[in-house]
Structure 1
Amino acid sequence: MSAAPTLDPGTHEPPDYALVQSSAEFGELRRAHRSFAFPVTVAFLAWYLGYVLLSSYAGGFMATKVLGHLNVAFVLGLAQFATTFLIAWWYSRHAAARLDPRAEAIKSRLEGDV
């Protein structure tokens, strides 16, 4: 039977998070996140609010038949779900391409791997 390895925390200093937060590298990471997240969030909320307002005030339009028994409200409702999944996929690609490498570089620098 083998013993579990001991975890020696060592005598290292904790990272200076305030210094990291004020760095240009972290500022670029924040800008890359915000330049995607804010516009997409505003667009999605406008799209969702538009759907709710149409449902509330344009009942005749929303009841318009599109195909068989499917009406505009049903099609737009399904489009809300599709949009949600599309945005999640899009953000995942954006994060993998632009955010994760920057975050990993900051993490490596903090852990002293660089």
Structure 2
Amino acid sequence: MEKHDGPDPARVRIDDPWYDALASGWGELDGTGAPAPVVPPARGRQEDRGTRAADIYLEVQRSAAFQEVRSRYRRFVIPAAAVFLTWYVAYVVTATTAPAFMARPVAGAVNVAMVAGLGQFLTTFLLTWAYARHARLRRDRAALDLRWDTQELTRAVAGGER
């Protein structure tokens, strides 16, 4: 029989919330040749810790820093989405209601519809660039600070076990 130098398997705890308890024991033997039983994690301490962690997340969500990040996000996204949607609907409505206008040549075989259609692609790329720039300059640092603070608080609740 082999000696196992690691911690006692009955005392090992899995704190990872993504851990799939049903997957443990696949192909593992318990020393007698039989498959190892699947042991679900203890519920008592994890539920208490989860409740305290949930309180931390609610506290962070209510904080002024979090509200400022959300406010900056909304101040950019809502107007940008409204402008882009208006531009897209105007293009579609004009294409269906004024085909003669859309067929008007601009330069050679290029007509108004082609220019407006390419403008749709261009504005998509410009909006993506503007969103990334806005996020980088106005929100990312504050969001990372919030994430760092939240992780520190949840580690303190867990007792530094991770």
Question: Do these two structures clear the TM 0.5 threshold for a shared fold by scoring above it?
Answer: yes
Deviations 1:59-93 (A, max 9, x none): 11100000000000000000000000000011001
User: Matches of residues 1-114 of structure 1 in structure 2 within 5 Å?
Assistant: 14=53, 16-112=56-152
Write the letter of the residue equivalent to 2:53.
P
What amino acid does structure 1 have at the position aligned with 2:79?
P
Q: Alpha carbon RMSD of aligned pairs, Å?
A: 2.0
Q: Distance in 2 between matches of 1:101 and 1:87?
A: 21
CA distance in 1, matches of 2:86, 2:151: 41
SS in 1 for 2:53: coil
Structure 1 vs Structure 2: percent identity of aligned residues?
41
User: How many residues of Structure 1 are paired with residues of Structure 2 in the alignment?
Assistant: 107
TM-score, normalization by structure 1: 0.85
TM superposition shift of 1:18 = 1.1
Q: CA deviation at 1:94?
A: 0.5
User: Which aligned runs of 4 or more in structure 1 are off by greater than 3 angstroms?
Assistant: none
Greater share of helix: 1
* Post-superposition offset of 1:112: 2.0
Unpaired stretches in structure 1, ≥5 consecutive residues: 1-7
Q: Which has the larger radius of gyration?
A: 2
Shift of 1:19: 1.0
Greater relative contact order (CA < 8 Å, ≥ 6 in sequence): 1
TM-score by length of 2: 0.61
Superposed displacement of residue 47, structure 1? 0.1
